[in-house]
Structures are given as structure tokens and as C-alpha cells.
Amino acid sequence: MDSSNKLGLIGKNISYSFSKKYFEDKFKKKKLSDFSYEIFDLQEINEIEEVFLKPSLLGFNVTIPYKEKIIDYLDALSDEAQKIGAVNCVLIENGKKTGYNTDAFGFEKTLIAHKKPHHDSALVLGNGGAAKAIQYVLDKHHIPYKTISRKSEINFDNLDTETVSENKLIIQCTPVGTFPNTEDCLNFPFEALTHQHLVIDLIYNPECSQFLLNSSQNGAKTVNGYYMLEQQAEKAWEIWSFQKK
């Protein structure tokens, strides 16, 4: 029997995705036999046009590398998505496609759970769609930050130990080190980390990335992206299921 409510995930090379199992388990638990969750692995963003043609598509999650590119294909954005400039959740209602950003919600929950008063300035590693949600949350909490990316003024080649010492909150937002390339790691002066540092890596697969491993070996407190992922998924479910009531 064809499910009358389809959800899914769009991204590129995403066979490892957490979302499918997470939502299928949720459907079972809630006895929602009329829901299904599909992986849409797109080589190019314009393939999204075909996804939109699927009947009974209620919405989908968006992951790397399409969180910013998807915006051109949507009809409306939530306030957060508008301010962040990145979307990771889409709701389709009566043909209208609205983009949301639940990454910000997930990261904020993570930050509040682990942050201490001395984590009062941050380094954001990466400048893609995920980093934009992190920057939004840091702004909201009045935490000044520097963004380190390949093309920024301070980049992975010239980031010095002093800058790392001064900023006690480090958020790794790039996909470097994600399964299956688990041995990859950003070029980073780990020796500047101390037990006062909080290092959050948005990667959840593997559970402990090479970046987190190197950070904990230098005494930093480390947190992976699993709780954030879970929280953003719950928020996405709220967006989709509330529309069904």
C-alpha cells in the first residue's frame, strides 16, 4: 500500500543518513502506518524539481550541500531561515513550499546544555549552511565569534595558537571527518586547547570524529552533533505534523 504521507531527505551522497531510521522508528512508535521516509540523493540541486512532483509529499529535510541552494526553489521562508540564509526543513502545504531552519533550534539546545560562563567568545570553523545557523544562535546569545574558513582572513593555514587560546568555545561545522572519511581532520592548532575549552563538532557519524579525538587529547571538553541532530529532527516533525491536525 502506498503511504499517503511522504517525507524524506535531500542531499548528496547521503546513504549514511540518520534521518531515515530516526523517522521510521518514530512512525512505528506512533503507529503511523500511512507515513514513509525516503532518501533523495541528488547530484545537482535542479533535480529537486522531480522530487516536488511526487504525490503526497508533505515535506523533507535538507542536508549538505543544498541548505543554501534550496532557497531558490521555495515559495516562502520562516523568519529564522530568512535571517540565517539556510534551510534544513521544508514543509509542503497545498502546493506551497516553505523553508525552515531547525538546525538553529538543535544547536541552541546543545549550547545551553554545555556552555559555561567563560565560554564567552567562539571560533566557528566553516562557513556553509550549518555554520550560518550556528552564527545566528551565537548572535542571539551575544557571544562574539570569528569565522574560520578556507577563504576567510583567518583561515585554516594561518589560524594561530593565540586565537585558539583566547576563544574558549570552538564549533566545527564542516563535513571534514564524516563517515566514510573518518581519518580526515581539519588543520587546527590543537595544542592551544585546554580543559577550559568546549569543542562542539556537528558531525555525529562517527560518534567521535578525529577532530574531537584530537581535542579531548588536549584536555578540552568535547560534544558531538548527535543531540543537535535529534533536536532539529524533533522540531522538523513538529512543523510537519502540526500541519496535519
* pLDDT tens, residue by residue, 205-244: 999 999 999 999 999 999 999 999 999 999 999 999 865 5
pLDDT score for 3: 63
- Which ranges in the chain are annotated with CATH 3.40.50.720? 104-227
- Which ranges in the chain are annotated with CATH 3.40.50.10860? 5-101
What is the distance between the alpha carbons of residues 130 and 142, in angstroms, rounded to a whole number?
19
The dotted CATH code for 5-101 is: 3.40.50.10860
pLDDT score for 245: 44
CB burial class (10 A; 0-12, 13-18, 19+) of residue 117?
exposed
pLDDT score for 244: 52
CB burial class (10 A; 0-12, 13-18, 19+) of residue 116?
exposed
Contacts of 152 (CB under 8 A, 6+ apart): 127
Active site residue 132: no
CB burial class (10 A; 0-12, 13-18, 19+) of residue 84?
buried
3 state SS of 174: coil
What is the distance between the alpha carbons of residues 212 and 218, in angstroms, rounded to a whole number?
10
Which among 6, 67, 132, 168 is annotated as catalytic?
A: 67
Between the alpha carbon of residue 134 and those of residues 28, 108, 130, 151, the distances in Å are 32, 8, 7, 18
3 state SS of 95: coil
Q: What is the pLDDT along the chain (245 residues), one digit of tens a residue?
A: 456 899 999 999 887 678 999 999 999 999 999 999 999 999 999 999 999 999 999 999 999 899 999 999 999 999 999 999 999 999 999 999 999 999 999 999 999 999 999 999 999 999 999 999 999 999 999 999 999 999 999 999 999 999 999 999 999 999 999 988 999 999 999 999 999 999 999 999 999 999 999 999 999 999 999 999 999 999 999 999 865 54
User: Long-range contacts made by residues 24-30, C-beta under 8 angstroms, separation at least 24?
Assistant: 26/237
Classify domain 104-227 at the CATH class level: alpha beta
